[in-house]
Every structure is written in C-alpha cells, then in structure tokens.
Chains A and B, each alone.
Chain A
C-alpha cells in the first residue's frame, strides 16, 4: 500500500469552510476558539497581549507576568505563546515558549 503525497497540506480557512460547507461566520467562530494568544515584549519594555492574526494589541502591561495572566483569561482552553526575552541556554530569545 503506497503512501499519499500531500502537496498542499493546509487549506486556507475559506477553502476549508467551502470543503466542509459551513458559513463564514461559523468558520470564524471556530477559528476564534482555536486562536492562541501571544505575549510579546515591545521595544519600550512593556508587554502586549495579542490574538493570532491581529496586529493590534488587546492589552498592554508593564510586566510579563501580568500579560501572561491576561492571556490565560482571554482563552483558558489554549496555551499562550510567550516570546522569550532572555537566553536560557537551551533556548534563545526570539523563540516562543508555551504557558
């Protein structure tokens, strides 16, 4: 039994909604449930909480801990992705850790 080669593994949300025959509103509702929250440090030293696909900050906090707490409140079912801000030996800054 030979394997199937997948050339286009991830359909766009619009393609997926069309394949499944669901409305754009329904697809958006599911995407919001699955959307992770990001915590990023800005150049000015504070921390923003941002939803995936959004360029705007949902909230801004002076400390990373406060930002992480907010991220968990916004979507308790999903892991938040926190930008690493220091080198830990095993992982460098500019990588994401999950909380």
Chain B
C-alpha cells in the first residue's frame, strides 16, 4: 500500500494498549513510509497526526523535523488537520462541511455494516463500503452546491 501511495498519514495517538501490550503497528508503518519517502526522493510524503501537542517530541524524538497535526482526539481536530495537509485551489470544503459529511457517513454506518456482514469496521469489506460512502457523500454535496449556483 505504501509503495502505491503518494502520501501516507500516521496517527501516533493510536498506539493503544491491547491485552497489556502497546500496539506498535503505527510507528512501524511510519518507519516504512519514511524509508519509502527517502528512496522515492520525496515523491512519497509522510504526514503525522497526534492527539496531544509536543508528545511526539518525547515519544518519537527522531521525527522532530516533521510537525505533527494535532487533532486533540476529536473529529473536528482531525478535519482541521486534513484541511491543513490537503489543498484544493477552489471550493475548499470548510471544517463544518467536512464534519457534516463525517456525520452523514457515521449515521449511515449501521446500514453499511449490515450490508457488509456486520463485521468489524476494519475488515476489508466494510472499510471499502465506508470509503465508497464517503466519496458518494462528497459527490452529493458537490451536486447540491452546483445546483444552487445554477438556479
């Protein structure tokens, strides 16, 4: 996945305890992505998210050159961080619009999950359904904006 992507996002606040042990998958993937970025001469960009300011300077000091986006553990903070790292020349969605889309997908989640077999959110089928739903939600908003402009 990392080799196929032009960028990657690593949320270091997701190092949580599981059965008494911290899960290190996220920093491991960050290391792989940093190596990929180096050998791809910067074509692959690495973005780091954290919930608390200055925590990465203590937990992962080797990445002090990379400024993390601090989301504060909230959807609003996450949307603001995403808006910081992705730039759209025109019609850039606002954070409230992004939160509206987030809430629309969240509200539809029970039906999306049911259709995909009621599995975990991180199973491939449900993850793809959520990605498709998010894309569809954005398209509908674009259509509504476009219709309002042409009326």
Write the residues of chain A forming the contact surface with B, with a CB cutoff of 8 angstroms: 1-7, 9-11, 13, 16-17, 20-22, 26-27, 29-31, 33-36, 52, 77-79, 81, 94-96
Contacts and interface: CB of A to CB of B under 8 A. Distances in A.
A3 B110 CA distance: 34
Contact of A77 (B66, B107, B148): B107
B111 A77 contact: yes
Contact of B144 (A4, A6, A34, A96): A96
29 contacts: A1-B85, A2-B45, A4-B7, A4-B45, A4-B85, A4-B87, A6-B86, A7-B89, A10-B138, A13-B136, A20-B132, A22-B128, A26-B132, A30-B132, A31-B132, A33-B108, A33-B111, A33-B112, A34-B105, A34-B133, A34-B137, A35-B136, A77-B107, A77-B110, A77-B111, A78-B104, A78-B107, A81-B144, A96-B148
Interface string B51-72: 0000000000000001100000
Nearest to A29: B115
Nearest to B114: A33
Contacts, number: 91
Given A22-B128, A52-B140, A33 B87 contact: no
B36 interface: no
Given A1-B47, A34-B104, A77-B107, A27 B86 contact: no
Contacts of B89: 5, 7
B28 interface: no
Interface residues of B, number: 36
B129 interface: yes
B142 interface: yes
